[in-house]
Chain A
Amino acid sequence: MKLQKELVAASSAAMVLSILAEGDNYGYAIIQRVRDLSQGQIEWTDGMLYPVLHWLEERRWVRGRWEKAESGRRRRYYSLEPKGRAALKEHRTQWEIVTSTLNQLWRPQYA
């Protein structure tokens, strides 16, 4: 089952920040990580990631830098900034509230 577009969009910032909390990364690898973790159920249009990264960078939540890959191409790596870490904490709290509320609501139904 594929996730709804709106839900994917709403969770994108939290996902990118969480992946960058694991370590510096670049666009293509971030998409692959989401695909692997969700076992293909979260299918981002790759082009959608870059406006998100741009948005995060504008807020100074992440910082980008160019590095040369083995292929010789330049890659833009992103790292999490202190502001981004604080934003991730807030996103995490909000998502935990949503999942915990839904879990409680759905518990009797599936018991």
Chain B
Amino acid sequence: MHEIERSIQEWRKKLAAQLGRERLEEIEGHFREAIDAELRQGLSEAEAFQIALQRVGRPEDITVEFQKLQPSMWWPARLAIIFGVVASISLGAWLIIRLAAGPANYLLAAHVFTSAMGYGATFLLGALGTCYVLQRSFGELPPDRMRSLNQICAGFAAFAAILTGVGVLLGMVWTKQNWGWVWSWDPKELGGAATLVWLLCLTVSARGELAPAHVIMLANLLGNILVGFAWFGPGMNLPGTLIFIILSSLAFFCLGLAPAGWLHRRIED
């Protein structure tokens, strides 16, 4: 291998750990063109490599430039992920203990786990919407932050949709086995189906950027109400919880319609 090729490979190796394959190939192509241009000027291979390196930049410098593009994750989103993981482990452990204690109904346990996780993730989206509205009251969030929030919402909504979908399906199998029907237009079933449709719409809208991130964040608050009905609605005998979810979600939704930074301005006045 020529000396210059070895140097390029070393340069490439340092970058490979940091960049994706396509980005790396693109920058390497650029680097090689820059070297070729210097060689055509009559410079030696070593000189051409050094000049091209100066122009294109050291791998560490290129990496730093790319890192600037990635905003750190919004702290409420980090908190929501941690909370989600802890909640899923706790619920899973609780179900395992229950199954071990009595006659095991794995199908029902799996239905409870997936439905609760799907609904819980939808509530976490609502919590993110609430944090967003509160933070926006003090000032508009930068576009990069909004874009990253949109991506987080798309991920959360897709995760919640999968779990809710599996939960609904398992519920249908369980009712077929135990009660003899698959679907009976029961409010619980309707709640599950409505939540699933809502989450799919939210995933598509957020992922495809069909609606501005602001609209997605406010929609998360409306999702709270829907899941509130599905989870704590008919049959649960928890009118207080449901009323709290509806009123608080509506209040934050209305707050989100106010101009950005309104609270900050009021404090300053």
Contacts and interface: CB of A to CB of B under 8 A. Distances in A.
A18 B147 CA distance: 24
5 contacts: A27-B30, A28-B34, A60-B209, A73-B32, A76-B22
B56 interface: yes
A46 B65 CA distance: 11
Contacts of B10: none
A47 B25 CA distance: 13
B57 A48 contact: yes
B185 interface: no
Q: In the complex, which range does the number of interface residues on chain A fall in?
A: 10 to 19
Contact of A74 (B27, B29, B55, B56): B29
User: Per DSSP, are chain B's interface residues mostly helix, strand or loop, or mixed?
Assistant: helix
B55 A54 contact: no
Contact of B33 (A28, A48, A50): A28
Given A54-B23, A74-B25, A76-B22, A47 B56 contact: yes
Contacts of A48: 57, 65
Contacts of A95: none
Interface residues of B, number: 22
Interface string B17-33: 00000110111011011
B179 interface: no
Interface of A: 27-28, 31, 45-48, 50-51, 54-55, 58-60, 71, 73-76
B69 interface: yes
A48 B66 CA distance: 8
B49 to A, nearest CB: 14
B57 A45 contact: yes
A73 B29 contact: yes
Given A46-B34, A46-B55, A46-B57, A55 B69 contact: yes
Nearest to A30: B30
A60 B150 CA distance: 15
Give me the 6 closest cross-chain CB pairs, A-B, nearest first: A47-B57, A47-B62, A51-B65, A46-B56, A28-B33, A76-B26
